[in-house]
Amino acid sequence: MNKIDHISNLPNPILHHILSFLSTKEAVRTCVLSKRWVNLWVFLPSLVLDSKGNEHNFEKFVDCVFCCRESLHLDSFKISYNGDPKILKKWLLHALKFQPKSLSVVSTILPLALPGAVFRCESLEELVLDEPYPGIDPMPALRPRLISLSLLRRLDIHAVARLDDDFIGKLMFGCPMLEELSLERCKLEFFMISSDVLKHLCIGGCDHHQEKICIRTPNLLSLELHGALLGGYTFINMTSLVKAVIEFGGFLDEHDYLWGDPFDNADVLQALSNVTHLELHGEEVKAFLQKEILNFLNFENLRSLYCWTDDTIYPIAGFLLNTYDLEKLTLFYVET
């Protein structure tokens, strides 16, 4: 009885979708299955390339992929590589020719290997720049001459560079549709984030001891501050905010008191009082909840609260007196 290969008989778009769940290296290996699979990988709408520490063989493989690939648009291009900056820059320029919608670069040699063309790729809707183990000290500034990303909706910059007023100004002007912005482990040297379209903002583990940052985002829906000191921010017009996640830093030094009490900031707390979902993380939550100003704020919209606590429950109990319609309370116990 002859066995029928039902999978190979599927239309190309479905097979491409199946291959999209594999890394590019795994997808290329399917060419040995049968004649039907020989060139399927060449038309993949997404490329996922990871050197996994084997840079030399990886360089040959990526060159081969680009050489064999048909000239079609890319939905997404993701690469992880820590070798020669010139080689990575060459690959990124090649990938940009396929007009990807999503570009993700994970590398310890950013931003040295980042061509300016990345910030002028009009097809991009999502851009992720991630340096997992920053190896450059001092951290270089990210200063493209021009930012023109008219379709960009999401930008993640993680431990890549110093970001100053020049960069943020160009970013907000050159990305008129930017809705999601995540800045993690960067050095922030700007004074303001101002956007009428931004809906989701995350700032995590960033160093900005020298500057107090003003955030003016009237349509912001969710805010995440990790390793946060509320004294380092000024919020203007945050009436749309519905979700906030605040993770307080666990260790304070003299720099953290540069703007006064690091947990006492009236306009920040006023913005938080409008949310329906609030999360408070970190060992300094108790210090935050004991602030007298909280007694004068009503959290009348709050429906869900997640909060760290220890054996001392009264700060949370006092805070709950100002919540009228709370539906869900989650307490994460931290042993002291």
Lowest mean pLDDT among 210-219, 287-296, 319-328: 287-296
Mean pLDDT within 225-237: 77
Give the pLDDT of residue 256: 47
248 contacts: CB under 8 Å, gap ≥ 6: 227, 228, 229, 263, 280, 281, 282, 283, 284, 285, 287, 288
**Across 227-251, average pLDDT:** 79
Contact (Cβ atoms closer than 8 angstroms) between residue 81 and residue 112: no
Check residues 309 and 249 and name the one with the higher pLDDT.
309
249-280 burial, b at 16+ Cβ within 10 Å, e below that, comes to beeeeeebeebeebbbbebbbebbbbbebbbb
185: confidence class by pLDDT, cuts 50, 70, 90: confident
Give alpha helix (H) positions in 2-79: 12-19, 24-29, 55-68
pLDDT of residue 255: 47
Q: Which two tokens stand for residue 1?
A: 């009885």
- Strands 222-228 vs 200-204: parallel, antiparallel or unpaired: parallel
Helix axes 55-68, 85-96, angle to 10 degrees: 20
**What single string gives the DSSP state of each residue in 163-220?**
EEHHHHHHHHHH-TT--EEEEES-EEE-SEEE-SS--EEEEES-B-TT-PEEEE-TT-
pLDDT confidence of residue 285: 81
Whether pLDDT at 308 is above 50: yes
**How do residues 79-111 score in pLDDT, each as one tens digit?**
999 889 999 999 999 999 999 999 999 988 877
Q: Has residue 245 got a pLDDT over 90?
A: yes
**Range 212-226 average pLDDT:** 91
pLDDT at residue 261 greater than cutoff 60:
no
297 falls in which pLDDT band (50, 70, 90)? Answer: confident
What per-residue confidence (pLDDT) applies to 232?
Answer: 76
- CA-CA distance, 205 to 226, in Å (whole number)? 6
211 contacts 186 by C-beta, under 8 angstroms: no
Would the pLDDT of 195 be above 90?
Answer: yes
pLDDT digit string, tens, across residues 39-56: 788 888 888 999 887 887
Are 290 and 310 in contact by the 8 Å Cβ rule? The answer is no
Residue type, 153: R
Separation between Cα atoms, residue 172 and residue 221, nearest integer Å: 18
The structure's pTM equals: 0.86
What is the pLDDT confidence band of residue 180, given thresholds at 50, 70 and 90? very high
Alpha-carbon distances, residue 39 vs 4, 14, 283 (angstroms):
21, 15, 55
